[in-house]
Structure 1
């Protein structure tokens, strides 16, 4: 299995890595259109997963060559796409994309959905919520996951909020007197270390794998089938000018093939939930989230 890979490890790499700027997908095209004769440059943070290997092989069978650009962080793939150094990326959910577009005044556009990955609570050597009262739970402190983590604890009956139906609550929105646990915001990458110390923690799937934690060992997870999960639908994203590109549409179709889905199920150990929503619905959700983000930023 031959896999083309370009590694970009940080913000500086967006500008300095020659492979990103040497590819011809934008160099000779007008108005940022994707050159149909060049490989599609797709950015991700997960290229090491089996699903991506199967995805690339299936794309090649359909006559689409991929140049997969792997990033070690979540901040640079959107910059690379916005700057024209990628054609499409696949690493983020709609809420993360909304925060980027609102903050950067960008027009990055969802063109297909992939899955919702439940966010879950883990507690080493425990298989239930029994005994968790009085504990401090580590939650990711980034703007796109902190509110979701607090809502996970709310769904589990562990915290009460001062207001109802808050999509993006902050620790200050928790009614501490009425709650069974407290929260300690930490960098998402440190949540697995907190877990290793024997403390309960909400951990993103990416860090579970790196720490060798079985995602099925969670003691509670949110429900991807509920409307509250819509902001966390993972999506293929491109620039608005390329949202109707036929090859990108084909990539979305390939992702939902039986072979890729089976590999993705193995990667997630059965925890990810496939989502196949049309692009116009994804855009409607994104528009709503961007508006909410801008309103929150203006308060």
Structure 2
């Protein structure tokens, strides 16, 4: 499931599931990552098959991992903050920035995983180049999807954003005189149904199949090499004091470099995952920038 669909919940700190009480950090004196003191990795969707494959890959490298499942996206970050888990892997940088700024915490990225592209679809055109000046394009109206959608349209050459755009851009930031299309905003689940009435629409990954489309039907999407896509890289996150933990770094490498793991993640994503190995320094720089932008916008 795409994280951006629920990112507006990022600042919330819902109560942790009751079962988490039994998953609190071990009091064992054993070295972290051993069978007596496994690394507790929080995720949303532990039933995804690739997590068992990942656990085995980690075990093959001598690291014991417990996958701790959460039912809601707002839960893993507070659990990490409170020490109930050691790492989490479920969010991109924008999501983490919103959590840090709302909570006053300082969780940090310790490794990259993948970008799950947000894409533009059309039932009228087979290429972005065919879209005419003055045509209307629909985008989701929730904060994270909206900003990201505008960046996709800018990358495709359909709009021009003032000051180059950012992960907090709004429709007010569109330079209409320099843009090709008009932009209309809709609730995310409605952008697919708007296709008969607009030239194209940005559709969240969660709704592509429901719209009778496949990911191959996209006529434009995030470019992972575009600096504007960096805030949407999914990450492993840790507490700031653990940013240099060697065991955690190894777990990131296992995710990035183990073919059975990446193959399983790709299959689970429907072929949409774009794996990246963005340096942690770049991830942190992006996080700092997004947090600064959030502060500036108040």
Q: TM tier, shorter chain?
A: 0.7 to 0.9
How far off is 1:253 after superposition? 1.4
Q: CA RMSD in A?
A: 3.3
Pairwise CA distance, 1:114: 0.9
Distance 1:133 1:252 in 2: 45
In structure 2, do the counterparts of structure 1 residues 131 and 113 end up closer, same or farther at CA, with 3 Å as the change threshold? closer
CA pair 113-210 structure 1, distance change in 2 beyond 3 A = farther
1:111 deviation in Å?
0.6
Following superposition, the deviation at residue 260 of structure 1 comes to 1.2
| Structure 1 pair 195–19 and aligned structure 2 pair: CA distance change class (3 A) | farther
What is the CA deviation profile of residues 128-171 of structure 1, one whole-angstrom value per residue up to 9, with x for unaligned ones? Answer: 3335655543323333332221121122232233x241223211
State the Cα distance separating 1:192 from its structure 2 match.
5.9
Structure-2 residue corresponding to 1:296: 297
Say if 2:255 and 2:261, in contact at 8 Å, map to a contact too.
Answer: yes
Q: After superposing the two structures, state which structure 1 stretch, 115-124 or 263-272, moved more.
A: 263-272
CA distance in 2, matches of 1:57, 1:224: 29
- Distance in 2 of aligned mates of 1:107 and 1:42: 18
Q: Distance in 2 between matches of 1:295 and 1:183?
A: 25
SS in 2 for 1:85: coil
- In the other structure, the counterpart of 1:76 is 75
Aligned to 1:117: 116
Contact 2:23 / 2:68 at 8 angstroms: preserved in 1?
no
CA contact (8 A) 1:123 1:195 kept: no
2:7 maps to none
What TM-score, normalized to structure 2?
Answer: 0.79
SS in structure 2 at match of 1:287: helix
* Residues 57, 172 of structure 1: alpha-carbon distance in 2 compared, 3 angstrom cutoff: same
Deviates more, 1:274-283 or 1:218-227: 274-283
SS of structure 1 residue aligned to 2:109: strand
Q: 1:38-64 CA deviation, whole Å, 9 max, x = no partner?
A: 443323334344433422332233341
8 Å CA contact 1:137–1:183 kept in 2: the answer is yes
Given the superposition, is the C-alpha separation of residues 210 and 49 from structure 1 closer, same or farther in structure 2, using an over 3 Å criterion?
Answer: farther
Partner of 1:226: 226
Q: Quote the Cα distance in structure 1 between the aligned partners of 2:132 and 2:217.
A: 16
8 Å Cα contact 1:141-1:186 kept in structure 2: yes
Aligned residues: 282
Q: Residues 204, 75 of structure 1: CA spacing in aligned structure 2 closer, same or farther, 3 A cutoff?
A: farther
Residues 1-299 of structure 1 mapped to structure 2, 5 A cutoff: 14-15=15-16, 17-25=17-25, 28=27, 37-62=36-61, 63-72=63-72, 74-124=73-123, 126-129=125-128, 130-131=130-131, 134-161=134-161, 163-167=162-166, 168-176=168-176, 178-188=178-188, 190-191=189-190, 193-194=192-193, 200-208=200-208, 213-256=213-256, 257-297=258-298
Change (3 A) 1:98 1:210: farther
Structure 1, unmatched stretches of 5+, are 1-9
Shift of 1:178: 5.0
Q: Deviations over 1:229-288 (max 9, x none)?
A: 222221100111222334322221110112112222333344322211332332222222
Q: For residue 143 of structure 2, give the secondary structure of its aligned residue in structure 1.
A: coil
Using structure 1 for the length normalisation, give the TM-score.
0.79
TM superposition shift of 1:179 = 3.7
Residues in 2 aligned to 1:124 and 1:13: alpha-carbon distance in whole angstroms: 40
Q: 1:204 to 1:259 in 2, by over 3 A?
A: same
Q: Give unmatched runs, 5+ long, in structure 2.
A: 1-9
CA contact (8 A) 1:34 1:87 kept: no
